[in-house]
Amino acid sequence: EAGVAQSPRYKIIEKRQSVAFWCNPISGHATLYWYQQILGQGPKLLIQFQNNGVVDDSQLPKDRFSAERLKGVDSTLKIQPAKLEDSAVYLCASRSGGRRQETQYFGPGTRLLVL
């Protein structure tokens, strides 16, 4: 079974530029998550999708961050414009929809450096 795919793996941009990250979850997984992991901290949830609908985006800085999952499969996360404090690893995770399928599976992450 293929895991969660993310691209790019690394990105360096200047502040005020825009950037986009892509995630392809495990096949058949209905729930998709985007997390931000700042160095020295645990992952923090940005947004959760159930199929193509948003379940929780309460911690997403909506003035600069946006995310979509148009066909209920892959997803993109965008930052526009980027700030220095956005430097972090952006992790995508997915989970199957079953009631007892509680485990989230993570992709390798995209490491973003904002200069």
Partner 1 sequence: AQSVAQPEDQVNVAEGNPLTVKCTYSVSGNPYLFWYVQYPNRGLQFLLKYITGDNLVKGSYGFEAEFNKSQTSFHLKKPSALVSDSALYFCAVRDSSGYSTLTFGKGTMLLVSP
Q: Name the site residues for partner 1 (rule: CB under 8 A).
A: 4, 6, 33, 40-45, 48, 50, 55-56, 91, 93, 100, 102-109, 111
Which two tokens mark 82?
A: 């980027």
- Our CA dihedral for 40, 43, 46, 48, rounded to 10 degrees, sits at 180
Nearer to partner 1, 19 or 48 (CB): 48
- Identify the bridge partners of residue 84 per DSSP, sorted by sequence position: none
> Whose CA is closest to 7, among 65, 88, 67, 20?
20
Using CA atoms, how far apart are residues 42 and 68, in angstroms rounded to an integer? 24
Of residues 14 and 85, the one with the C-beta less far from partner 1: 85
Nearer to partner 1 (CB atom), residue 17 or residue 31: 31
Q: Please, what is the minimum distance in Å from the beta carbon of residue 16 to partner 1?
A: 27
Q: In angstroms, give the least distance from the CB of 54 to partner 1.
A: 11
